[in-house]
Structure 1
Amino acid sequence: MTQQDAAPELFSPEFVACPHATYEHMRESEGVSQRFYPGGLNRLWFLTRYDDVRTALIDPDLVKDRSSVTEGSLAAHQLMDPELKPFHRNLSMLDPPDHTRLRRVIAKNMTPRQARSRQEPAERLADELIDKFAADGEAELIEGYASPLADGIIGELVGVHVLPSADWARLRELGRNLTSPSYQHHSADFDRIKYEIRDLVLEVIRLRREQLGDDVISDLVRARDREEMTEQELLAMVVTMVLSGVDSVTAFLGTALHSLLTHPDQLELLRARPELMDNAVNELLRYDSGTQTATFRFAAKDLQYGDTVIPRGAVVCPVLTSAHRDPRHYAEPERLDVTRQGELNIAFGIGTHNCLGQKIGQLVSTVGLAAVVRRLPGLRLAVDPGELRWRPGLLLRSVYELPVRFDAKGALG
């Protein structure tokens, strides 16, 4: 039986645990696949081949404005509640010229220089977190390391720590319910989550107005005061900041560590040759990124992809995870090789909607991985890989927990 014959059904528990065989089957048998999303949402058109995915990311006829969508819960007529407008008109769901205008406002906070300024704090925090468990010889590397590292650096940059810790924890939990939802969620479930997120984000904005600082949300409040955006656009921008960043970096650190732990030869090679770390991060993003798919696009007209016509109004899902393992583009794509040279991954997108936080995300990820590789000799999974639990959802691919063991004496050394 081949891997394709044994491919789990899309959205099944087996798919959640490891989606690669499923995407391989879709990529090799169809390329463009139409599937129904559980929970009463729209039919989705999945693009799984590298060339199609890359084209979709820059296709001007695949838009973020869903006004052409007429069926399912993503249809334009289902989005009439003005209270939830920030969730449907945020930066990741706008087209030029509004997207261009608002992206320009925030871009100055996401420069390579800004990212580099966080390197020393990130290195310091990574060591402090490892110090807490170094003597134990065992740890849990998601909530015990990856999440607080991403939160400590990116959360501070964004400015969300103005919220009381319990409210920020609740906001992150709600955000994960949107980015990694149960496949059985219906539109009413999502609306309840969005209302609670909106209320907490409004509180973030109120508190930031009272104590402006050197952070992204404070700068957005200042831009609103200069009338560079509306109050609704401010709310939408902060929603975008809250729903991205911390959890996407946490997800990638989890998948990257999982990939190294299940390929101990590559982990040891990286330990022996730390100068390969930047190259390794690029390869780990390709091999199993925390970002499984790009955000949805909407067909502004009938579009031809391969032999398939995607109709106007269709909801299109470019699958980055599948594109990154397309043998038409990558040699031996199923093999993890931290020395791999050649084409970069497209995990952060390309074109108009490429990720603004790419540089800071890469920096925190690189620092986080380097500290683990350097500080934790003998690192290995404490459980069988099949026992790990993975979050559902199409956008992010992330593990709930990552229990490990290591040489405590070497970690302290």
Structure 2
Amino acid sequence: MPKTDAPALFSEEFTANPYPTYRALRENEPVVCKRYAGERMQVWFVSRYEDVRAAFRDPRFRKSRESVSTGGLAKGRGNPELAAFHRTLIMLDPPEHTTLRRLVAKEFSPRRIRAMADKAAAYADQLVAGFRPAGKAELIGDLAVPLCYHIIGGMLGSRPEEDWPGFDWDRLRVLGNRLTTPDNSATTLDYDAIKFEIKALVEILIDRRRENPGPDVFSALIAATDRGELTPDQLFGLVVTLVLGGMDTTAAFLGNALLALLLSPDQLELLRSRPELMDNAVEELLRFDGAMQTASFRFTSEDVELGGTVIPRGAVVALALAAANRDPGRFPDPDRLDITRDATHHVALGHGIHNCLGAELGRMLTRITLETVLRRLPGLALAALPDTLDWRPGILLRAVRELPVTFTDEESR
């Protein structure tokens, strides 16, 4: 048992602040098997920075479930009608992963992302203008979510307010959240029902975009499918990855970044006075409280020794990004936000062949959001006690549900 007092994994205290628990794991059980909350399976947690980086590079830690030998994720289990959910980009290994990633990556070129920056800044200004006269706002629902859905959605070809009138985007977002937020009372059948509903909604998206193609990512992927370069299951998996992964994860990180600065007013003011630190600040904010607590599960294709412990073949493995990013062996004084720190080697966006495909898009949106908030919302302050904030539970996405703030509307004086 850990010697350091810390909340148990999956507890309410852990949800509110997982870092003491990750510290206890890192110091006392750096590679350890735990029962996954609400699931009849064991998960191996890896929490030290060097071990996490090593696992990212080790091909014996696979993404396909075919290596799993026991538990609810074992090969052959699950509803075959939902098999496409296990063909998403983050659940594939080379060579299939290499081929699909190369196909999608060209749609996320640096040039294309740079061209979106002005549009993102203009939309962020528009959102702020809508709530600024009130002197208060809820920055998740009023800024982070609509900005991500508008800009990322526009790039993908799924901007809700323009491309899909009458489509139930809120329902799709809620369903996606339920997949990444464990419910201890939920059964496999419950999750299958969620997936069937997501499947029906995503198929509507694909059908509508096929009927009305445009200069967007979805149209390009559909065209590739029609040319025989993708299978229908691969197309579905890519759309699910981009819709449910890209927009929700980026919005979650924007909330985390804003909150971290609000809770470190000296760093907020330093960034306001020294805007040249913005790029450095984004990397430090990713290290300090990134959107993903753990990487998506990996599976061992054979016995693997890591950190002096043998992880058996067929095991389910969670690389604890949040723990690795606060490893004092790599980042001195890791629990302190320091926007002057060199944090460029964090693992918040993964590492190796499975690093985040939309990393530069997320960085751009973070810079735009912070620049807009710092410029247009003087006197910004959190309008709730930190320990009253509501966090989404689980070990995957770390996201505060609401971020109420107040500020001074100087223009209205």
Q: How far 1:183 sits from its partner (Å)?
A: 4.1
Contact residue 349 and residue 356 of structure 2 kept, 8 A: yes
2:60 is the alignment partner of 1:52? no
What is the match of residue 83 of structure 2? 85
Q: Counterparts of 1:191 and 1:39 in 2: how far apart (Å)?
A: 15
Contact residue 324 and residue 345 of structure 1 kept, 8 A: yes
Aligned residue for 1:404, secondary structure, equals strand
Contact residue 26 and residue 48 of structure 1 kept, 8 A: yes
Q: How far 1:344 sits from its partner (Å)?
A: 2.6
- Please list every run of 5 or more consecutive structure 1 residues that lacks an aligned counterpart in the other structure: none
Q: How far 1:170 sits from its partner (Å)?
A: 1.0
What is the match of residue 43 of structure 1? 42
Aligned residue for 1:214, secondary structure, equals coil
Q: How far 1:165 sits from its partner (Å)?
A: 5.1
Deviations 1:160-201 (A, max 9, x none): 233335511211111111123334433222111111000000
Q: Counterparts of 2:167 and 2:390 in 1: how far apart (Å)?
A: 25
Within-5 A mapping of 1:4-403: 5-79=4-78, 81-161=79-159, 162-164=163-165, 166-341=167-342, 343-403=344-404
Deviations 1:17-67 (A, max 9, x none): 010000000100111121101222421000000001111111100001111
User: What is the aligned-residue identity percentage?
Assistant: 50
Q: How far 1:267 sits from its partner (Å)?
A: 0.6
Q: Counterparts of 1:113 and 1:4 in 2: how far apart (Å)?
A: 50
Contact residue 254 and residue 399 of structure 1 kept, 8 A: yes
Aligned residue for 1:298, secondary structure, equals strand
Q: Counterparts of 2:173 and 2:154 in 1: how far apart (Å)?
A: 14
Q: How far 1:291 sits from its partner (Å)?
A: 1.4
Contact residue 38 and residue 184 of structure 1 kept, 8 A: no
Q: How far 1:86 sits from its partner (Å)?
A: 1.3
Contact residue 5 and residue 24 of structure 2 kept, 8 A: no
Q: Counterparts of 1:155 and 1:187 in 2: how far apart (Å)?
A: 30
Contact residue 175 and residue 242 of structure 1 kept, 8 A: no
The amino acid that maps onto 1:49 is R
Q: Counterparts of 1:165 and 1:249 in 2: how far apart (Å)?
A: 24
Contact residue 138 and residue 403 of structure 1 kept, 8 A: yes
Query: TM-score normalized by structure 1?
Result: 0.96
Q: How far 1:343 sits from its partner (Å)?
A: 4.2
Bigger shift: residues 397-406 or 69-78: 69-78
- Please list every run of 5 or more consecutive structure 2 residues that lacks an aligned counterpart in the other structure: none
Aligned residue for 2:233, secondary structure, equals helix
Query: TM-score normalized by structure 2?
Result: 0.96
Contact residue 299 and residue 315 of structure 1 kept, 8 A: yes
Contact residue 252 and residue 290 of structure 1 kept, 8 A: yes
RMSD: 1.5
Bigger shift: residues 230-239 or 16-25: 230-239
Q: How many residues align?
A: 409
Aligned residue for 1:349, secondary structure, equals coil
Contact residue 156 and residue 217 of structure 2 kept, 8 A: yes
Q: Counterparts of 1:367 and 1:343 in 2: how far apart (Å)?
A: 19
Q: Counterparts of 1:372 and 1:166 in 2: how far apart (Å)?
A: 31
Q: Counterparts of 1:5 and 1:95 in 2: how far apart (Å)?
A: 37
Q: Counterparts of 1:20 and 1:137 in 2: how far apart (Å)?
A: 33
Aligned residue for 2:32, secondary structure, equals strand
Aligned residue for 2:266, secondary structure, equals helix
Q: How far 1:116 sits from its partner (Å)?
A: 0.5
Q: Counterparts of 1:243 and 1:398 in 2: how far apart (Å)?
A: 14
Contact residue 287 and residue 343 of structure 2 kept, 8 A: no
Relative to 1, partners in 2 of residues 1:107 and 1:171: Cα closer, same or farther, differing over 3 Å? same
Q: Counterparts of 2:36 and 2:182 in 1: how far apart (Å)?
A: 12
Contact residue 390 and residue 401 of structure 2 kept, 8 A: yes
Q: How far 1:404 sits from its partner (Å)?
A: 0.5
Deviations 1:54-107 (A, max 9, x none): 11111100001111212221111213x232111112111111111111112111
The amino acid that maps onto 2:274 is R
Q: How far 1:399 sits from its partner (Å)?
A: 0.4
The amino acid that maps onto 1:24 is R
Q: Counterparts of 1:14 and 1:166 in 2: how far apart (Å)?
A: 37
Contact residue 183 and residue 392 of structure 1 kept, 8 A: no
Q: How far 1:245 sits from its partner (Å)?
A: 0.9
Q: How far 1:216 sits from its partner (Å)?
A: 0.8
The amino acid that maps onto 1:385 is P
Contact residue 38 and residue 182 of structure 2 kept, 8 A: no
Q: Counterparts of 2:104 and 2:212 in 1: how far apart (Å)?
A: 19
Relative to 1, partners in 2 of residues 1:209 and 1:379: Cα closer, same or farther, differing over 3 Å? same
Aligned residue for 1:77, secondary structure, equals coil
Aligned residue for 1:244, secondary structure, equals helix
Q: Counterparts of 1:331 and 1:393 in 2: how far apart (Å)?
A: 27
Q: How far 1:342 sits from its partner (Å)?
A: 5.4
Q: Counterparts of 2:171 and 2:219 in 1: how far apart (Å)?
A: 21
Q: How far 1:341 sits from its partner (Å)?
A: 2.3
Q: How far 1:401 sits from its partner (Å)?
A: 0.2
